[in-house]
Amino acid sequence: MKQKIIDAVNRQIREELQSSYTYLAMSARFEARKLPGAANWMRNQAREEVLHAMKFFDFLIRRGATPELQTIEAPDTQFNSILEAFEQALEAEQHITKCIHELYDLAQTERDYPLQTLLHWFIDEQVEEEEAAEGIIDSIRLAGESGEAMFMIDRELGLRQPETEGAE
Ligand code: MG
């Protein structure tokens, strides 16, 4: 593998883990606010981001490269409402989408075909991630932010099940 590609995949591993860390911090804040459903949603999201990092990690190993783990920053998660938290989640996903697209551009320029194939899965996944966050934002806006609405939204978010490792 070209070093340029290895470096870029290592950076993407960091991005995915950083995003996992952000969701985990959001989960902790929702626990503190007694919104267990939203906390559950964020916890599952955090777990899913680790699986994303692992797909890139394993990709490097399978191609004979060694993943080099980079520094993860302490997440900056301050929000005053569920709506704000999910708006931040959507922004985070838009950032990841941009990173995935840039990585794809590089894979094309460098003619790394296996990376292009791996990234097809991620490109689809990002469409789903943004769609999910947008859907929740729409629901919150529609329901309003009364105590009753929050209770309903939280219960809905609590239904999210953890993804299993093999799931694509
Ligand atoms: Mg991800």
8 A C-beta contact, residue 104 and residue 41: no
The whole-angstrom separation of Cα 155 and Cα 75 is 26
Q: What is the DSSP letter of 76?
A: -
Tell me the per-residue pLDDT of 54-113, one tens digit each, with 9 for 90 and over: 999 999 999 999 999 999 999 988 999 999 999 999 999 999 999 999 999 999 999 999
The whole-angstrom separation of Cα 37 and Cα 151 is 9
Structure tokens at 76: 């900056």
Of the listed ranges 27-31, 33-37, 144-148, the one predicted with least confidence:
144-148
Q: What is the DSSP letter of 79?
A: -
The whole-angstrom separation of Cα 131 and Cα 47 is 19
The whole-angstrom separation of Cα 82 and Cα 90 is 12
Q: In the chain, what are the domains?
A: 3-71+80-157 (1.20.1260.10)
Structure tokens at 138: 């729409």
Give 52 Cα–ligand 1 centroid separation in angstroms.
5
Give 96 Cα–ligand 1 centroid separation in angstroms.
7
Give 146 Cα–ligand 1 centroid separation in angstroms.
31
The whole-angstrom separation of Cα 120 and Cα 101 is 10
Angstrom CA distances, 167 to 51, 84, 116, stand at: 10, 29, 20
Task: Please say if the pLDDT value at position 165 is more than 80.
Answer: no
Give 47 Cα–ligand 1 centroid separation in angstroms.
10
pTM over 0.75: yes
